[in-house]
Amino acid sequence: MMRDVYFLVLPQVMALDLTGPAEVLALSGAFRLHYIGPQEEITTSIGMTVSRIAPLPASLPPDSIVVLAGVADSRQQLDSAPALEAQRWLRERRSSFQDRTWTLVCVCSGSLLAGRAGLLDGYRCTTHHDVMERLRQQVPAALVKDNRIFVEDRGVFTSAGITAGIDLALYLVSLYVGPQQAMATAREMVVYFRRGGDDPQLSPWLRHRNHLHPAVHRAQDILAHEPEAEWRLDALARQVFMSSRHLTRLFREHLGLSVREYHEQLRLAVAQQRLQQGQGIEKSALAAGFSSSRQLRRAQQRWQE
């Protein structure tokens, strides 16, 4: 299902705050992008003109995502007439964000715009380090967190500056589309997939993917496609056109794990998913490629130690 994303665009918007997340979401193929704002045409932080911006709408479809990108100089530009109009528009629709009819995403000083509209009161949030103290002063009810790439709290997502918007957009792809699509999008853009410091750890489907070796990625893709299969090392190595010894060395170098250890992590993830679906430990173990529930428990113990 395609999800609608509305970028609220202000004059002097930070170009990468806008285009970085937009590119991620567009490449994922699962989002319809719209651009709305108080003015039909604006100039960005780098002098580029953006035109054909739709007016601020009276309503949005349910489950829409509203993205507030930062501006070049939030000390002055958030007091401009267009910014104040955007702030009023957000404040009037505060209930739609609070009841999660819409999702709020803030990049860089977009958090300050949201905070001024009352959308961050009582929410954990973050922003660019240069804006952090002003966010605390101007929005004392916000629970501002330092040293975070991004923060998620009850359907409100806020990120630090500039490239952190790309990290947050990749996380949204993972959340709404799936971790494998997020990983594929990150690889297409040649960027790392990262999570915020207080978010859950990466699942095995995404962990150990922050490298650029194509053959290792191919081997990981093969294992991830059929984790329950009995993959012999030599058979997997032939699939990626190298020797078993060389593939083993590359896994150690780029993942810090053996091929067997990585494969076992994928199988454990499958088993955990089946357990959460209520299938029982024996069925879950067999579905993940373990020979028995006993073998599954031993694998779980190895990674808990």
Residue 256, both tokens: 């810090």
Angle between helices 15-28 and 164-176 (to 10 degrees): 30
Active-site residue identified among 16, 25, 108, 266: 108
**Which residue(s) pair with 6 in the sheet?**
34, 66
106 flagged as catalytic: no
d(CA 56, CA 33): 14
**Which residue(s) pair with 157 in the sheet?**
105, 152
d(CA 265, CA 203): 9
Closest CA to 262 of 204, 195, 184: 204
d(CA 156, CA 119): 9
Active site residues: 108
